[in-house]
Amino acid sequence: MSFFKEELKNVKAFVFDVDGVLSKDVLSIGRTGILMRTANVKDGFAIRNAVKSGFPIAIITGGYSNRVRLRYKQLGVKFYYQSVRDKVKCLEDFMEKNKVESENILYMGDDLVDFNVMKAVGIPTCPKDAVADIKEISKYISDKTGGEGCVRDVIEQVMRAQNKWFTNEMLKSRAF
């Protein structure tokens, strides 16, 4: 675990899946047939803080929802890939546009659709309720489940390791 903490100092960008990571792995179906997801506000707070601190963030999902895209756009996420079948291609596009190397990317995924992209990054991570194959290749397994703060967990750990998380002075001076 101490090696993982050292690796956090080298993270320059974050990439997240949606279903099972940023939201629970459950979809509700509304009366009109629209699929609905929930979003954790603490995850959102951490994402906005990371963006404000200069970390590029991408979201890569196989799902499609303009409402979800808008939620993360409002938090400052500039790279949102949806209806994706090949997550590695999206990762490569994100890396090229942000001039960041794969070894400096922390990715969080939860299921087999994330397997190849997780093998392509330096720091693969997952929520507590990820499937066994994903846990096996992860360098860190959050003690939080998908949609319940696992994203906040990894962002906060990275930012603390890099002395970019909130200090008392920052808390006094920042408008939330």
Of the candidates 148, 104, 155, which has an alpha carbon nearest to the alpha carbon of residue 128?
Answer: 148
Question: Measured between alpha carbons, how far is 151 from 141 in angstroms, rounded to an integer?
Answer: 11
Residue positions forming the annotated binding site: 17, 19, 110
Residue positions forming the annotated binding site for substrate: 19
Residue positions forming the annotated binding site for Mg(2+): 17, 110
**Whole-number Cα distances in Å, 175 to 9, 11, 170, 172:** 26, 26, 9, 8
Question: Measured between alpha carbons, how far is 125 from 105 in angstroms, rounded to an integer?
Answer: 10
Give the DSSP letter of residue 110.
-
**Which residues contact residue 135 at a Cβ distance below 8 angstroms, ignoring those fewer than 6 apart?**
126, 141
Phi/psi for 85 (5° steps) reads -110, -30
